Structures are given as structure tokens and as C-alpha cells.
Amino acid sequence: MRWYSFGCCFTGFMIIIVLGIISIPVVIVVERFYGVRDLGYLLEDVRFSALNLTSSSNSTQLNGEIDFTVRISNPSLGTGIYFKRISMETSYNGIILGDCFIPPFYLGHKTRLTQQLNLTTNVVLDAMQAASLRSAIAGNAIRLYVDVVVELKCKFGSEKCTTVSTSDTCNNVEVSPPSSPGGSHLLNKCSMKLGITDLYNNSND
């Protein structure tokens, strides 16, 4: 009787182990097919189409135009993304130059999209800020900080998740000025991973 009980327990234990091993690939496939954890956001190019400094007795006026080329990718095999809002705030040496936005759009699974953005800036610099920017221009490398904030919701099949927000920062975006020998262009591409959580809480937002 004891051997019979032991045999039943052992058999049941082995069945649990086998089912666990079999379920691992299933979980991996489902997670890979539906799960979205990191969306790709790449700054492919950043360039100053205009950059002017005008000095007065107490301050310096910065007027400029910055053009961005960004590539957004959805690596999921089965989940589409509704982008409700993408905003980019750009700053230099603690000075906020301005914001630009990408209108709402839908990005299907295994899809990439390239977008063009333009930022017009008109800010006043103090003496130290102006000196720093002039030094960067002379060195043909202006270091910008770009903060990206994204509001989105996912779609898998007929289900939609609640709206979530995610963000990331490129803190070393070096751009040559228009006066540099090769003109203005991005000196180092910046790739961001927009991590997303709570995508599976269905909502009618």
C-alpha cells in the first residue's frame, strides 16, 4: 500500500515537471507574440537649419531652427500600438529651447516609421550661456539634451489596453553648427528604448 502511494505521488510529481517543461515554450511564444516591452526610438538626424546669436548690452538672443528625423519601431509580432501623443523637449546647457510634437498615429506589429519634426527656438541667454554656446559653435559640436515622452495604448486582436505613458532621454546629442565645414548634421545617433508596463489592462479610453 505504501509503495502504491509512493508510486502515485512520484507519477504526479513527474507529470507536473513534464507539464512545466512543455509550458515554457508556450509562455515564451505567447509573450514574444503579444508582449511589447521596449519600443525603439532612434534619432537618425538632427540639424540646425538656422542658428543666430544677437548680442545686446546685457544679454544674447538665440534664434534657431532645428530639424529632427526620428525612426520609431514596434518589434512586437502581434501587438499594434496607437500613439496618442509624442513630445520632444530639447535643451542646451540647462536652457530649454522648446518642444515639438508628432501627431497621433497607429503603428502595426513589426513595423517602423520615420517622422520629420521641426523646432523653432527663440530664447535669451545670459553672458555665461552665450559664451558656452559660442565655444561649442567654434568647436563644431553643440551638445543637446532631448527628452521624449510618449502616450500610447496597445491593440492585440480586438482588445485594447489602457493608455500608458513612457519616457526616455538622450543626454549626449552632438550636432555640428551650420558654420562647420560639413554643415549641420548629427554627429552621434541616439537610440532610446521606451519601456512599457501595464499594457494588458483593458480599457475603453
* Per-residue pLDDT in tens (0 to 9) along the chain, 205 residues: 444 444 555 555 555 554 444 433 333 333 444 455 567 888 999 999 999 999 887 889 999 999 999 999 988 777 788 889 999 999 999 999 999 999 999 988 888 999 999 999 999 999 899 999 999 999 999 999 999 998 888 776 666 677 788 888 998 899 999 999 999 999 998 888 776 644 444 444 4
Residue 20 has a pLDDT of 47
Phi, psi at 43, each rounded to 5°: -80, 100
Whole-prediction pTM: 0.76
User: 36-195 — its CATH code?
Assistant: 2.60.40
51, 177 contact by CB (below 8 A): yes
